[in-house]
Amino acid sequence: MDGEDQTRSGADLVVAGAGLIGLSCALEAARSGLEVVVVDAGAGERASEVAAGMIAPVGEASWGEEALLGAALDSAARWPGFAERLEEETGEPVGYRRCGALHVGLDRDETAELRRMHDLHGELGLESEWLTAGACRKLEPGLGTDAAGGYVAAGEAEVDPRRVLAVLRIACRRAGAAIREGVVAGVRDDGSGRVAGIELADGSRIDSERVLLATGVRLGELAAAGTAPIRPVKGEVVRLRARPGEEPCERIIASERVYVVPRANGEVVVGATVEDRGFDTRVTAGGVHELLREAYRAVPEIAELELTGFAAGLRPTTPDNAPVIGRAGPEGLLVAGGHHRNGVLLAPFTAAAIGAMLQDEPVPEAVAALAPGRFAASGVAS
């Protein structure tokens, strides 16, 4: 499925980064007729390889994050069409499923906190229904006895991020984009404030008047100072497999410390730790223990499932948890990154925003609110 295209030396647009964000933007640009080269540094630190794939603007909503919420709601609404078009263009499924999510409290404190979240949903006009413990169990009979009430967000969805990555690569190539291996070492300018292309770590160059940096946790190293203050936030996940008929739940089940994401193909992802440990991608016994313990409290039947793997990824995270999307540095340089817990959710929104910028179209307010300049203006350095 993946040949390499090593010979190109010029393009209308170079995209640095072949994660969900880079590939989604590259596809958008290639569909519009631009000649696109994607530079792929490999799967090593790619958050989308580890992501559980929740498309969950309600479950991820929080106080004081209105700009992020606007983007999240916009993007969640785009997901069905985004998935359908990808599947049409490639003939490959991406596993999008509007399964809904049930958030449960496993003790009084957790339930009280969930109630506050549910009240916030009401203030924000989000789709969220409060349920008693009995009603939660009626919806999801596999819930453990600790579940003391919670809310259901019926519109939440999930998708298999690793399938999406594979299908995006096919779609990009079909749309004419080239994908080549390499590590971007720097952005070149022409000496008069315009981008001239990129330089790779092996010394080769790709000429281009437009460059999009979508290098996840490494974005801050390439973008202009202060525009992408991104730190890695580690997340460990455990992968399980249910035999047909033994699925532990129908919906995403989440508690304060854990979520359980069931896929249509029987895979069940349990995630995720949230750890500020720099560029550490080790899976720890403590992390796996906590995930399995809390998942077992929420849905005891997970103990019966086959354990198929575990992984740790790095969420690229900005000081306000919202991504940076827009122009940064010399004319022609764009960045898209810092999606923190919402990279999968925000991929269609980000691709549409970057697509509009590449066409020099005016950007809507929801996109302007995520401009990289907001950090430079506040004095936060990368």
Least distance (Å) between residue 176 CB and ligand GLY: 32
Nearer to ligand GLY, 272 or 334 (CB): 272
Q: How far apart (Å, rounded) are the C-alpha atoms in residues 52 and 269?
A: 6
Confirm or reject binding of residue 232 to ligand GLY (CB under 6 A): no
H and E: helices and strands count for the chain: 10, 19
Q: Which of 315, 326, 354, 363 binds ligand GLY (CB under 6 A)?
A: 315
For residues 87 and 93, the answer to whether their CB atoms sit within 8 Å is yes
- How near is the Cβ of 52 to ligand GLY at its closest, in Å? 6
> Please, what is the Cα angle at 317 between 235 and 163, to 5 degrees?
55
Shortest Å, Cβ 348 to ligand GLY: 16
CA nearest neighbour of 302 among 254, 255, 260, 256: 260
Integer Cα distance of 281 and 7 in angstroms: 33
Least distance to ligand GLY, CB of residue 272, Å: 4
Of 172 and 261, the one with the shorter C-beta distance to ligand GLY is: 261
CB of 147 to ligand GLY, least distance (A): 20
| Closest distance to ligand GLY from the beta carbon of 29 (Å) | 26
When the beta carbons of 210 and 341 are compared against ligand GLY, the nearer one is 341
Longest Cα–Cα distance in the chain? 67
Q: Does 341 bind ligand GLY (CB under 6 A)?
A: yes
Closer to ligand GLY by Cβ: residue 239 or 315: 315
Q: How far apart are the C-alpha atoms of 185 and 380, rounded to whole Å?
A: 23
Choice between 90 and 273, CB closer to ligand GLY: 273
Which tokens is 369 given? 């609110």
Helix (H) or strand (E) holding 233: strand 231-241
Task: Say how far apart CA 361 and CA 354 lie, in whole Å.
Answer: 10
User: Residue 344 Cβ, how far from ligand GLY at the closest point, in Å?
Assistant: 7
**CB nearer to ligand GLY: pick between 200 and 270:** 270
Which parts of 107-136 interact with ligand GLY (CB under 6 A)? none
Q: Is 239 in the site for ligand GLY (CB under 6 A)?
A: no
* Phi, psi (deg, nearest 5) at residue 191: 90, -10
For residue 343, the minimal CB distance to ligand GLY (Å) is 8
Residue 357 host element (H or E)? helix 343-358
| Binding to ligand GLY in span 321-340, by CB under 6 A | none
Query: Tokens 């880079």 appear where?
Result: 22
Q: Of 52 and 312, which has the nearer Cβ to ligand GLY?
A: 52
Considering only residues 265 through 304, tell me which ones interact with ligand GLY, judged by CB under 6 A: 271-272
Name the residue among 291, 276, 286 with its Cα closest to residue 237: 291
DSSP string, 139-186: H-TT--TT---EEEETT-EE--HHHHHHHHHHHHHHTT-EEEE--EEE
Task: Pick one of 235, 287, 330, 337: the residue that binds ligand GLY (CB under 6 A).
Answer: 235
Q: How far is the CB of 76 from ligand GLY (least distance, A)?
A: 13
**Residue with Cβ nearer ligand GLY (43 or 225):** 43
Beta-ladder partners of 316: 232
Query: Could you say whether residue 54 binds ligand GLY (CB under 6 A)?
Result: yes
* 114 within 8 A of 59, measured Cβ to Cβ: no
Residue type, 34: L
| For ligand GLY, the closer CB: 235 or 262 | 235
| Count of residues that interact with ligand GLY, criterion CB under 6 A | 7
Using CB under 6 A as the criterion, which residues of the chain lie in contact with ligand GLY when the complex forms?
Answer: 52, 54, 235, 271-272, 315, 341
